[in-house]
Structure 1
Amino acid sequence: MPLRMICLTSALALSAGQALAEMNFNRIASFPVVANMAAGEDTSRETSPEIIAATADGLTLAYTDSPLKALGRIDITDPANPKPLGNITLPGEPTSVAIKGQTAFVGVNTSESYTAPSGLLMAIDIASGDTLGSCDLGGQPDSVAQAPDGSFIAVAIENERDEDLNGGQIPQMPAGNLVMLDLTGDSLDCASMKVVGLTGLAEIAGSDPEPEYVSINALGETVVTLQENNHIVVVSRDGSVVSHFSAGAVDLEGIDATDERGALIFDESQKGRLREPDAVAWIDDDHFATANEGDYQGGSRGWTIFRKDGTVVYDSGTSFEHAIVQIGHYPDKRSDAKGVEPESVTFGKFDGTPYVFVGAERASVVGVYDVSDPAAPVLKQLLPSGVGPEGYAVIPERNLLVSANEKDLIEDGGARAHVSLFELQNAPAAYPHLTSAGADELIGWGAISGMVADQDGMIWAVNDSFYGFQPSIFKIDPSQTPARIVDVIRIHRADGNPAQKLDLEGITLDGEGGFYVASEGRSDRLVPHAIYHVDANGLIKAKSGEIALPPELQAVERRFGFEGITKVGNTLWMAVQREWKDDPKNHVKLVAYNLDTKEWGAVHYQKAEPQTGWVGLSEIAAHDGYAYVVERDNQHDVRAVTKKVYRIPLSEMVPAPLGGELPVVSKELVRDLLPDLKSTGGYVLDKVEGLAILPSGEIYVSTDNDGVDDSSGETMFFSIGAAGQPS
């Protein structure tokens, strides 16, 4: 069957800001660090960029890669097109890196055990990979920082605890400390090494300080976080303690503190939650910011600005997490732990404006705050970082922000670990594409699947089984920028309880103010494939509410079922994602159900031969004589091949009886979505799952973010214009 390309009448509309241009950070590139592996190396090995820094000229990045025991390098001469420079093999696990000129100072963990910690501080020529010097640190290094004037290096010697010993309780000896070493030019002066003891300061396990992170201000003062001890210490250039104090605790209201319930409900509280700060960064000589991850018994889900005397100048409370909830990045599976888990914090002054960048590890988001007034930071943007942001580098001279994202999902067939680059531009913000900000209530959302448009230009979308205990229909206004979730309908049964365990993959209008939704079944969970009729309030109707599959389909069904539903006249059409037992290879059913006669039928659709993984359908929508389908593979990043929209003449969709030979419909290519999915500088997302067509013919496409579970959390929601006549 020949394929014909369809012309589109308007260009891709991905921008999240159509107002007057202003300065915003936008992602311009994502570099898969597996590209740094040498020819012949096993690229199925895990690779993970963690802490990252830039050379003085801002043209080269160097990052620690713990799984590979290497220092990776990236050429960003053209930041929109980063190039691999390869890895430098190290004698142990790198934990942190700071750069002076073209020399990297790398903390390397060489410990034999938790009770016999050891490590090195190595000086490495970034261009050649040669080792220029090395100092024995006498313990396990964690964070490395360089003084602003380049005169010395500070290293947090954590001597970390064994989390499997006595339930991870501290104290566990040996204690950690702070090490300071002078630099002579770009050379390490090992003889100058000064060990600063930190015992006896913290109220929590004071005999066992576990330094986590260091930062140095222009006065040469080093601030050290003792994460598990919930304590902060400021040390002078000569190694004396200037101040030390508890990081304190916060009371959290309006959070989701219940794990694994498959619902986003923000009505709980936690009292006296210890901050337990991880990363720390000076803002000026008197103020510093902490990311309060919590690694022991705390975690306040936010970040804080302190004066160096211990005064709390600002605390984000739940505001940072709530902002993340609104853009669909909330990690529900972390609800009972540390929520979005802020782990990283970095400071940089761009074009005269001081910014604090806060990385939420589990939400895969970078918060951009204007801290012109440290007592009243302003959240300017939330950026999609990549999976598991760990470290950041700022290059203000080139208007660049860099995020190192440590999570490599190779074992699960997911996205590889990436380094993301953002540029401060005189342009609208490109992210988010979809938000619930401005709604009357805090609406959490994610895992957007099927979509449908109504006659008023609104789009209705469902979430899938990730939120199986809170099946929902979201009302989206696509005319706003970014598109806005303005309301939510919870699907429920007659007893008022949520219709639990539904896997909603498709939605269409019933023409009477309600909806038909398609639920993909899971036989291993005793939840069948089915269609549900839902009224405008989300109630599953009593008589016509559940439409079960007929015996002919039940006999051949497989796990991958209905992925999309549309209504043509009085017939419902459902796209089956992948082959069932009686389907020819690379053919899937488009199943029909006549609402008047209750008869079932189907046609066959021929999908592409997968190059890797599988190819299937993930949406169907009817408009103006055609049925539009999304055909996609299950591949991410550079491995993605098939992400396309096709259309089928409705005149060919004449259902044949089940159990016999089915006619094969023709298809025309409407849009190859790969350029669209690459257009915002990120790696290609795998799950293109939503498609809705406005009365005008404008087509909107969305991606499913998997509920931020081993996912970047990013949702793309964009227009591909209105389909014209076949060219």
Structure 2
Amino acid sequence: MHSKKKSILSAAIALGLGAGLAACGSSGGDTAPAPAPAPAERSFKRVASFPVCAQLGSSCESDDTTAAEIVAASTDGMTLVYSNSPAGEIGFIDIADPAQPRPAGSLKVGGEPTSVSVLGAYALVAVNTSADHVNTSGKLLVVDIATRAVVATLPLGGQPDSVAVSKDGRYVAIAIENERDEDLGDGAPPQLPAGHLAIVDSVGAPATWTLRNVDLRGLAARFPDDPEPEYVDINDDNVAVVTMQENNHVVMIDLPTGKVLRHFPAGAVTLAGVDASDNRPALISLTETLQDVLREPDGVAWIAKDRFVTADEGDLAGGSRGFTIFNADGTVAWASGTELERETVRLGHYPDRRSDAKGNEPENVDYGRYGDKDYLFVASERASLLFVYDIANPLAPVLKQALPAGSAPEGVLAIPSRNLLVAASEADDRSIIVRSVVNIYSYGEGAPTYPTMKSVDRADGHPIPWGAISGLAAAPADSTRLFAIDDSFYRANRIFGIDVTKKPAAIDTELRITDTAGVLAALPVADAASADRAANFDSLDLAAMINPDKTVNLDPEGIAVASDGGFWIASEGGGTVGEAGRPVTSHNLILKLDATGVIRRVITLPAALNAVQLRFGFEGVAESDGKLVVAFQRAWNREANPRLGIFDLAAGTWSFVHYPLEPVASPNGGWVGLSDITALGNQQFLVVERDNQAGPDARIKRLYRIDLKGAAAGSTLAKTLVRDLLPDLKAQGGLVVEKIEGSAVLANGDVYVVNDNDGVNDNSGETLLLKLGRLQ
């Protein structure tokens, strides 16, 4: 360890690390009068995420699939109403205190609710009651929000999708999609019956409302006999704009008369500088071009009487990965191009496995005026982000923020009257640690709190792609820099340099790990000290581990800065001995890299341990006093606790001790294991211990201190709790993230932790790089 860092941290330990972490800050003497304050910055901040499963019980201990798809608000903005398709119901949330949303009950609707809107005291719920894709039917339920009673039912004559209410309350427009069967043939239209627009004249008591239909056949060039209206919105002149996604067409209808005013194709775009390939392992490369991609718009919102915005999600053969501002005459006022794709890469939210499909996949849009500011909100379904644009000039929108939105945001709702913004994220599967949430954001003074980290542009003008951060380390004598690594989700593993003085922290360098010296390639021979040791490596898949350009595909889970320069990397082995479904393809390795990322040495486990390999192997590495210490995530060979491996660099020998894990505490079961280890000096270490649960099921996310002085080989260590991380994670306003994977202590004592977002695969994509405080 660098002497300066060692002395600082040793002094910090002497002051009492076991007492916890102190809040960051400093105090000083008298200062000069402060200058006049600049105008306060205003932004949106997530204040709460309401898990839909909370309607089933406050502890969310149910495996039932739930979802919040489309969300609306009561006229006073105190109650949210959302559609829950899997449960066949609508749900209510009390947001009198937005930071403490409370479940307020649910109502079965006798079918699949597809959308919801609000008119006065009523929630208007579109319900699909179709027997199949040919025999379509639906209804509009009028529900008294206060009593939760259905006061009227209007038959719709088809499968409904979106519902919109005019500002004067005189009209309700319902897109009757009659969606196609995606499993029939290749899923392409035409598949009758055709869709249409339903108009409800909503003056008077709901029992007196009447229904009219608008025929949309023969308008679109694509599938003219099978219009599939997707989304509808209404402007101040009671003109409805309707997107027909599969038809790549837009229609405007005068609601008082039911006449089609105009219609036009949504058009196509050419996207240069995007990733159009799904690589396994993932490789984000913004170097491809998609020619003449159909927009195929989904969500739509008016931003003025004569302009509207479409979220160009795509479906059959399109998806421009952005959004478009249209003039009412059908001309394009502005198009986002590749901006959303680039920004999701910059924020570590890029869904690489959707590269060959629709990329970040913009799903929906909404507009709101907050004070004197006009904002446009764009929900990205696959990147799980909500983009905030200042549209003071709708011909030149300015991206102001990107907000974390849970997994797969579908509905977005501006509530300017309460300075609130809401997004409904529908993905829900407790078995893969994903829960559907309704996200609540507050608009007020202060800088954005998300992202916590983003990348700068490379020399080629593209942002450094990143994600799946699995390890963290501190620069030895520079309290401004951290280093991180990505794991096996990505091809060509890299080390990232992070400037923590920036807000958010800036990933400003990337260093690829390479085997240009041939050390890894020679491993089965060069490291074979005996015949039985050579046999130990028979299962290594070196062809998969080393790319043609000598970059490597490993599973880096831990990183430490080496005392003599370069880095130590702990790579987790792949597969479990004796498990047919998970054959061993790689072993747990410690790699010594020089400062340029070239592998110079590989350290392996003893053959006896490799013979009982469990796939939960190396998770962290630290160097201290001439030794490397690696943390095994879980116990191998039916031992009671996981090992810490201690490798003497001079002698080249291993010894092992055991770490006492906490018992499983989550109502969802799972396991508890280790995720990182950080050297503190004087043979003391900081350890990350966590369960594999997230959201309301998470129970254990903790930092402990251990001391290896005098620890006998084979012994079980004692540990001291330093910090429970659950309050820190809950304070971010979202669901608790699962994988706290990295920890580091800067030379000045600042402690950082970071989570792994799994490359946005079955994950909200959030990466939280949290500065916790200083060691005492």
Q: Which band: TM-score by shorter chain?
A: over 0.9
CA contact (8 A) 2:624 2:681 kept: no
What's the counterpart of residue 7 of structure 1?
20
- Separation of aligned partners in 2, 1:156 and 1:141: 6
**Cα–Cα, structure 1 residues 266 and 438, in superposed 2: closer, same or farther, change >3 Å?**
closer
Matched, 1:672 2:694: no
- The alpha carbon displacement at 1:12 in A equals 9.7
Q: 1:293-332 to 2 correspondence within 5 Å?
A: 293-332=313-352
- The alpha carbon displacement at 1:190 in A equals 4.3
SS at match of 2:417: helix
What's the counterpart of residue 476 of structure 1?
498
CA contact (8 A) 1:519 1:530 kept: yes
- Separation of aligned partners in 1, 2:130 and 2:25: 52
What's the counterpart of residue 473 of structure 2?
452
1:558 corresponds to which letter in structure 2? L
What's the counterpart of residue 619 of structure 2?
563
- Separation of aligned partners in 2, 1:396 and 1:227: 29
What's the counterpart of residue 647 of structure 1?
705
TM-score by length of 2: 0.88
Instruction: Spell out, residue by residue over 1:471-509, the C-alpha distance to the aligned partner (whole angstroms, 9 max, x if none).
Output: 111100111111000010111222862544311100111
SS at match of 1:333: helix
1:289 corresponds to which letter in structure 2? V
1:479 corresponds to which letter in structure 2? T
| Aligned residues between the structures | 704
- Separation of aligned partners in 2, 1:227 and 1:620: 50
Match of residue 534, structure 1, among 593, 608, 618: 593
What's the counterpart of residue 450 of structure 2?
431
1:460 corresponds to which letter in structure 2? F
- The alpha carbon displacement at 1:646 in A equals 0.7
What's the counterpart of residue 140 of structure 2?
121
What's the counterpart of residue 369 of structure 1?
389
What's the counterpart of residue 676 of structure 2?
619
- The alpha carbon displacement at 1:437 in A equals 3.4
Matched, 1:583 2:642: no
CA contact (8 A) 2:203 2:209 kept: no
- Separation of aligned partners in 2, 1:91 and 1:288: 34
What's the counterpart of residue 659 of structure 1?
none
Matched, 1:442 2:463: yes
**Which segments of 5 or more consecutive residues in structure 2 lack a partner in the other structure?**
1-15, 27-36, 519-547, 576-582
What's the counterpart of residue 696 of structure 1?
748
Matched, 1:206 2:224: yes
Instruction: Spell out, residue by residue over 1:170-211, the C-alpha distance to the aligned partner (whole angstroms, 9 max, x if none).
Output: 1111111111011124626443x2111111111111111100
1:627 corresponds to which letter in structure 2? F
- The alpha carbon displacement at 1:582 in A equals 5.1
CA contact (8 A) 1:345 1:356 kept: yes
SS at match of 2:424: strand
1:631 corresponds to which letter in structure 2? E
- The alpha carbon displacement at 1:78 in A equals 0.8
- The alpha carbon displacement at 1:233 in A equals 0.5
What's the counterpart of residue 487 of structure 2?
464
2:312 corresponds to which letter in structure 1? N
Q: 1:9-88 to 2 correspondence within 5 Å?
A: 9-11=22-24, 21-37=40-56, 43-88=62-107
- The alpha carbon displacement at 1:604 in A equals 1.1
- The alpha carbon displacement at 1:650 in A equals 4.0
CA contact (8 A) 1:670 1:723 kept: no
Which stretch shows the higher mean deviation, 445-454 or 32-41? Answer: 32-41
TM-score by length of 1: 0.94
CA contact (8 A) 1:24 1:429 kept: yes
2:197 corresponds to which letter in structure 1? L
SS at match of 1:675: helix
SS at match of 2:456: coil
Q: 1:38-437 to 2 correspondence within 5 Å?
A: 43-185=62-204, 187=206, 189-191=208-210, 193-237=211-255, 238-261=257-280, 262-412=282-432, 414-437=433-456
- Separation of aligned partners in 2, 1:286 and 1:525: 62
- Separation of aligned partners in 2, 1:79 and 1:447: 31
CA contact (8 A) 1:255 1:268 kept: yes
SS at match of 2:563: coil
CA contact (8 A) 1:453 1:692 kept: yes
1:721 corresponds to which letter in structure 2? G
What's the counterpart of residue 528 of structure 2?
none
Q: CA RMSD in A?
A: 1.9
Instruction: Spell out, residue by residue over 1:397-449, the C-alpha distance to the aligned partner (whole angstroms, 9 max, x if none).
Output: 1100011010002132x031111100001011110000003554421111101
CA contact (8 A) 1:330 1:363 kept: yes
SS at match of 1:88: strand
- Separation of aligned partners in 2, 1:51 and 1:701: 34
**Cα–Cα, structure 1 residues 573 and 42, in superposed 2: closer, same or farther, change >3 Å?**
closer
Match of residue 598, structure 1, among 652, 664, 676: 652
**Which segments of 5 or more consecutive residues in structure 1 lack a partner in the other structure?**
657-661
What's the counterpart of residue 629 of structure 1?
687
- The alpha carbon displacement at 1:516 in A equals 1.3
**Cα–Cα, structure 1 residues 595 and 5, in superposed 2: closer, same or farther, change >3 Å?**
closer
CA contact (8 A) 1:645 1:672 kept: yes
What's the counterpart of residue 13 of structure 2?
none
CA contact (8 A) 1:490 1:498 kept: no
